[in-house]
Amino acid sequence: MDVVSPELNSLLPDEIMDTEAIEDLPPSQPGGGAVQSQPSDDTPVPMETDTPAASEHLSLCSDATSAEHAKAPPTSSGATLSISTASQLPISISSTSSLLTLKPAMVTSLAATKTTDSLSGTSISTTGLQRLTPPFTISAANHQIILNKVASAQATEAAKSIGSQPQVFKQEGQKLLVTTIGKSGQPIMLQVAGGKPGVSQTLGDHKSQAPQFKVVTIGGRSELKQVVGSAGNQLTTLQGQQLKAVQIATKTPVSSAAPIKYIITKTVNSKGLSPQTSVSPVITGRVLTQTSPGIPSRTITLSETLNSNMQSISGKKIAISPLKSPSKVTVVSVASPTSNATQKSMTLPVNVALGQQILTVQQSTSGSPVKLATGQNTAQNIKPVQSVTMGGVGGSQFKTIIPLGSQPNVQQIQVPGSRFHYVRLVTSTTASSLGHPSGPSTSSLQTAKPMVVGTGAARMSVVPAQPVKQMAPKPLTSGAVVTTAQTQQRLIMPATPLPQIQPNFTNLPPGTVLAPAPGGGNVGYAVVPAQYVTQLQQTPFVTLASSSTFPAPAGVQTQARLPLNGLSPAETTSRPRKPCNCTKSQCLKLYCDCFANGEFCNNCNCNNCFNNLEHETERLKAIKTCLDRNPEAFKPKIGKGKQGESDRRHSKGCNCKRSGCLKNYCECYEAKIMCSSICKCIGCKNFEESPERKTLMHLADAAEVRVQQQTAAKTKLSSQISDLLMRTTPVISSGGGRLPYTFVTKEVLEATCECLLEQAKKAEQTHQPQVEAERMILEEFGHCLMRIINSAGKAKADCASINC
DNA sequence: GAGTTTGAAACT
DNA sequence: CAGTTTCAAACTC
């Protein structure tokens, strides 16, 4: 079943589906339309904030029926979740509990591995519950471990017959990877390289500082294959990293009792074998599931380095593409056999602080949508919102799918070039009907006993499945379905039927409901400002969860912003958005910066503001009006210029007449760019050779330097003050260190002064010369000091002895 | 903080 | 498309 109608698919912007091309996957089977292919296009992007020309596809469709969700019994006897860490903190999941339900045919392979630095001579110990499936190879040169993934016996045979694509666990630097996922006969290469502890830190031994990696494998049936090699096989793990493998049997509902966010993405890589697969930082703790049959081999690559060795692996691959930013994970799934889609990838921004995440990438069989199931982790979920960044060559362009922990019904997608997050809303009633049964390829998320992954304080929990949350940014014939187990279905955004689908998805303004899922009931997409996602993220979880209605963000000053006015996200995020002061526009016209930037008003000074969820109807109408007037209204104004021109220029040009384009009235100047040929300004002084501009720039630079210096000085002073304050506190508990300055109390000072005065009187009475009087006073002062010091030292010693 | 200036957005 | 009005930010005092 297509979550989104083909019509909507055509309307959806390519950006949402585009990701960096990683590999090409030749269409293998007709009808396997889980992923659409788009020819890679390297044509320059007109706007720097626009989506990269490279084809990026995100296909999320639900093919699971409600019955599957409801009926899927937690019967995967062989399903086991085990995690073995170097810290000897195994995590296991009872097979009885169904955590994830995948395609019946899909076989689950389990690998519980413990790895340490091979250089140190530490061998890898495995706790695999299943038999080890040879061959298992380790490449010390490239730190790769190639494992044959066999989901089932058939899969094994198929893999052997076709020279199955080994699963590669690649470690680069301090990363490790994991897992086996996939469908029988479809070897998956999973390459995970985690440069940062990232999510893994929450899973592994909290005492261990070494990066930890957790792998969740969602498999099919009871037959499990041990992924990680037997004794003697060594995984080269740098710096004693810990590898954790989690296997989740199919039909096993994933439940998370914790607020943990699961990011589900599906991407299709039609080009498969392309060696150019870039490797980006990958976050551990994600589940990659591939279930599409007919594909000889597929690879899921999770990598943190910028270059990938993936080309060594033949066959189709599901790759988690390279990310320039260590905080992102790109997942590229193999297109369905029939799909001629080129490549699809999703870049998932990994926020370590967000806690553990499970990324599920499932390749459905031809014509069957892929489901991605996520659950939430009860443990240490810092933020209720998890964002998924898809595509984008650089770090500035993201596509984000954000399951909202507190808002189970909402998933958001950030589209490059768009300043909005697209949110799909799924009601609880429709959750069950989201997926269509698509035969064996259909996967459903099931709930079962809570699965806890990780040890110590950091752990991942899977709780019984609840309403399913789905997102289909760009529904395809065989869509991928993102399913997130939620404890409760809530509508963050009105899941009203799509009033009108905009021709260009990227132009959709905030709050726009894209489309209801066919037959899905109250399932739709809502477009909300990208910043609103941040607002949600910053909104206390309790607040979100406690309210049935979407609470208006409050108290949030800083809002993450997408590239705006030519500023990078970092630049824009570094400074909070200015609150608007609209009085007459109701913040529903482009006069309002909040509205124009795709943001909800938050902590603004506006009057009669309608730029909020409480006035969604009016807001949607206003958005539509703006788009009717100007389809580019919500696109960034600052984009790339033509060759030979500045990299950044105003898309429309300014029309300044009196400011000389050297004041912030000028949009070009405000964006810190020079006017271009398309500007219609009069008396422009905002050009390269302009002395006025240079002068202003110098002044601005000088002012900035001063500000920085002042800031540094303030920081230093504050630090000193803080330190001084700490000094005033008696250091009793510590065995050494500072003297107890507080012994110089008022009484002590008075007593000292009395002593000194008495000495002065004595000198005066004895008619001592002034010099001698001063000497006597100073001498007495020295005696006083000595007494104070002695007393302090004695008291300190007494305190220390008491503490001991 | 009030008033003025400015230019984009909205309107005709 | 051009001219005018409206609007809110930028700027000045």
Provide the pLDDT for residue A589. Answer: 93
> What total number of domains does chain A contain?
2
- Does residue A782 surpass a pLDDT of 80? yes
- Does residue A582 surpass a pLDDT of 90? yes
Q: Is the CB of A666 under 7 A from strand B?
A: yes
Asked if residues A354 and A383 have their Cβ atoms less than 8 Å apart, the reply is yes
Provide the pLDDT for residue A656. Answer: 93
Residue A53: inside a domain? no
Q: Is the CB of A629 under 7 A from strand B?
A: yes
Mean pLDDT in chain A?
Answer: 50
Range in A556-570, A645-659, A725-739, A760-774 with the lowest mean pLDDT: A556-570
Tens digits of residue pLDDT in A347-386? 333 333 333 333 333 333 333 333 333 333 433 443 333 3
Q: Using pLDDT thresholds of 50, 70 and 90, give the confidence band for residue A794.
A: confident
How far is A592 from A623, CA to CA, in rounded Å?
12
Residue A343 φ then ψ, to 5°: -150, 145
Q: Which nucleotides of strand B lie under 7 Å from a protein CB? A: 5-11
For every residue of A688-741, DSSP letters joined together read TT-HHHHHHHHHHHHHHHHHHHHHHHHHHHHHHHHHHHHHHS---SSSSS---G
Residue A296: inside a domain? yes
Residue A146: inside a domain? yes
CA A629 – C1' B12 distance (Å)?
15
Instruction: Count CB-CB contacts under 10 A for residue A543.
Output: 15
CA A505 – C1' B12 distance (Å)?
31
Provide the pLDDT for residue A801. Answer: 60
How far is A742 from A755, CA to CA, in rounded Å?
20
Sequence length of chain A is 804
**Nearest nucleotide, CA A607 to C1':** C8
CA A664 – C1' C12 distance (Å)?
14
Give every CB contact of residue A749 below 8 A, 6+ residues apart in sequence.
none
CA A341 – C1' B5 distance (Å)?
55
Residue A303: inside a domain? yes
Residue A553: inside a domain? no
Residue A640: inside a domain? no
CA A682 – C1' B3 distance (Å)?
26
Q: Is the CB of A621 under 7 A from strand B?
A: no
Asked if residues A532 and A421 have their Cβ atoms less than 8 Å apart, the reply is yes
CA A577 – C1' B6 distance (Å)?
21
Tens digits of residue pLDDT in A468-522? 333 333 333 333 333 333 333 322 333 333 333 333 444 444 444 443 333 343 3
Residue A145 φ then ψ, to 5°: -120, 125
Range in A381-385, A739-743, A758-762 with the lowest mean pLDDT: A381-385
Per DSSP, A404 falls in state B
Give every CB contact of residue A84 below 8 A, 6+ residues apart in sequence.
A90, A91, A112, A113, A114, A125, A126, A127, A243, A244, A245
Asked if residues A434 and A523 have their Cβ atoms less than 8 Å apart, the reply is yes
Residue A83: inside a domain? yes
CA A582 – C1' B3 distance (Å)?
17
- A354-358, A399-403, A647-651: range with highest mean pLDDT: A647-651
Q: Using pLDDT thresholds of 50, 70 and 90, give the confidence band for residue A667.
A: very high
Q: Using pLDDT thresholds of 50, 70 and 90, give the confidence band for residue A638.
A: confident
Percent of chain A with pLDDT strictly greater than 70? 24
Question: Which residue would you say has higher pLDDT here, A575 or A202?
Answer: A575
Q: Is the CB of A582 under 7 A from strand B?
A: no
**Nearest nucleotide, CA A633 to C1':** B9
In order of A607, A611, A750, A786, A791, the CA distances from A758 in angstroms are 71, 76, 12, 18, 22
**Nearest nucleotide, CA A664 to C1':** C10
A99: alpha, beta or left? (left if phi > 0; alpha if psi -120 to 50): alpha
CA A77 – C1' C7 distance (Å)?
67
Task: Give me the mean pLDDT over the A163-192 stretch.
Answer: 39
Residue A750: inside a domain? yes
**Nearest nucleotide, CA A655 to C1':** B7
Rounded to the nearest 10 degrees, how much is the dihedral formed by the CA atoms of A266, A269, A274, A278?
A: -30
**Domain span holding position A87:** 1-40+78-487+502-540
